[in-house]
Amino acid sequence: MTDGSAPGFRTLGELESVAARAVPPSVWAYVQGGAGEERALASNREAFRRRTLRPRVLVDVERLELSTTLLGEPSAAPLFLCPTAYQGLLHPEGECATARAAAGAGLVGVFSTLSTRPLEEIATAAPSGRRWFQLYVQPEFPATAQLVDRAERSGYSAIVLTVDTPVFGIRDRQAEGGSVEASAARGNGPGLQPPPRGPVRSAQGFSVPRGGTLTWETVRQLRSVTRLPVVLKGVATEEDARRAAGLGVRGLVVSNHGGRQLDAARPTLESLPEVVRGAGPDVEVYLDGGVRRGADIVVALALGAKAVGIGRPVLWALAAGGAPGVANLLDLLTTELANVLALTGRRSVREIDGSMLD
């Protein structure tokens, strides 16, 4: 615990129940929900549960090294905070609280185009922290370029382009709960657009209201307007990984958007090995979706991930206790990671490899 006022949750299970009681049901449905009947959401977690580790014994694990690098920058652990929209729904300080906790833990925080606070304010809230900006492309490219320029000027050190959202997924739970998104503040500008709903049916057939804006051409365009490294978030196949590497993309996040987009998507852990193959040696591969324990981090790294991202637990921690709550969560996860390293006979995250898996 990092602060006297931090809530004293000892496990993520406990944290989840504290958070469930702290927010209105419509906000909880927004946070927890997934696409369709939530198969992808459940299977992300199940994929981790199915994996077991081969521990080595009689290794001197007196000193443990968790630190690594992400795109060449130091990170206290192979862990980052995923971009999630509208964090102000969970806590009045929203993304600013998350940024402070991430900086305090020495971890990268990724912040959404749809943050409730402006990206400049998030940067000022934790000037020493490392931040990446998550980009949702806008219907007109100049608006996209302007966002990228603002992020660059505010010291964000990578652009994370989300690519699994050509349209919004159909989310049954949110439809039932009544979505809170329409009323949430858009800190980066009231005109900013989330991914389009649709496709919509008309006499001419199905079409996406502002279709055609998210293609490989978008990646080329983006590369031409920024000197920052570009990361694609939402890649799930070897083919797409190889194509991204060919375009000079520096990182890939294997993600199915926390099960919120394609309900029939594979669990991210199962997509990871082929994405690592396609990415080749020069592109870092990360994973998110269902990471909840120290052992999950080790399993993902053993399958070739450089780091993993956590999404919903950060929102639970924000709701439960703002910045100290998020700090507590990050402390819990890194302590668990250290525990698993010791129990598997690894002194450093660099010693995690495929031989740890069956």
Ligand X SMILES: Cc1cc2nc3c(=O)[nH]c(=O)nc-3n(C[C@H](O)[C@H](O)[C@H](O)COP(=O)(O)O)c2cc1C
Instruction: In whole angstroms, give the CA distance from residue 253 to residue 201.
Output: 32
Candidate list 43, 68, 134, 193; residue touching ligand X; CB under 6 A: 134
Report the catalytic residues: 257
The nearer residue to ligand X, 286 or 346, going by C-beta atoms, is 286
Task: Check if the beta carbon of residue 30 is closer than 8 Å to that of residue 177.
Answer: yes
Provide DSSP, 209-255: TTTT-SSHHHHHHHHHH-SS-EEEEEE-SHHHHHHHHHTT--EEEE-
Tell me whether residue 70 or residue 85 sits nearer to ligand X (CB atom): 85
Nearer to ligand X, 258 or 346 (CB): 258
Site for ligand X in 186-225 (CB under 6 A): none
Per the CB < 8 A criterion, the answer to whether 35 and 169 are in contact is: yes
d(CA 166, CA 222): 16
The SS3 assignment for 11 reads coil
In the complex, least distance from residue 14 CB atom to ligand X, rounded to whole angstroms: 17
Q: Is 171 in the site for ligand X (CB under 6 A)?
A: no
Contacts with 142 (C-beta within 8 Å, 6 or more apart), sequence order: none
Q: Output 257 or 346, the one with its CB closest to ligand X.
A: 257
**With 0-12 CB in 10 A as exposed, 13-18 as middle and 19+ as buried, what is 42?**
middle
Query: Interaction with ligand X in 27-46: which residues (CB under 6 A)?
Result: 30-31, 44
| Two structure tokens written together for 72 | 């060449």
Could you say which residues in the range 50-89 bind ligand X, by CB under 6 A?
Answer: 82-85
Give the interface size with ligand X as a residue count (CB under 6 A). 23
Q: Which stretch binds ligand X (CB under 6 A): 150-158, 217-225, 255-263, 274-282?
A: 255-263
258 near ligand X, judged by CB under 6 A: yes
* CA 176 to chain CA centroid, nearest Å: 25
| Cα distances (angstroms) measured from residue 58 to each of 38, 181, 352, 358 | 43, 52, 17, 20
Which of 104, 129, 311, 324 is close enough to bind ligand X by CB under 6 A?
311
312 makes contact with ligand X (CB under 6 A): yes
Determine the interface stretch with ligand X among 240-248, 254-262, 298-306, 339-347 (rule: CB under 6 A): 254-262
Q: Which residue is nearest to ligand X (CB)?
A: 311
Please report whether residue 291 would count as binding ligand X according to CB under 6 A: yes
Token digits of residue 178:
């009544």
CB of 24 to ligand X, least distance (A): 14
| Chain positions contacting ligand X, by CB under 6 A | 30-31, 44, 82-85, 112, 114, 134, 162, 233, 255, 257-258, 260, 288-291, 310-312
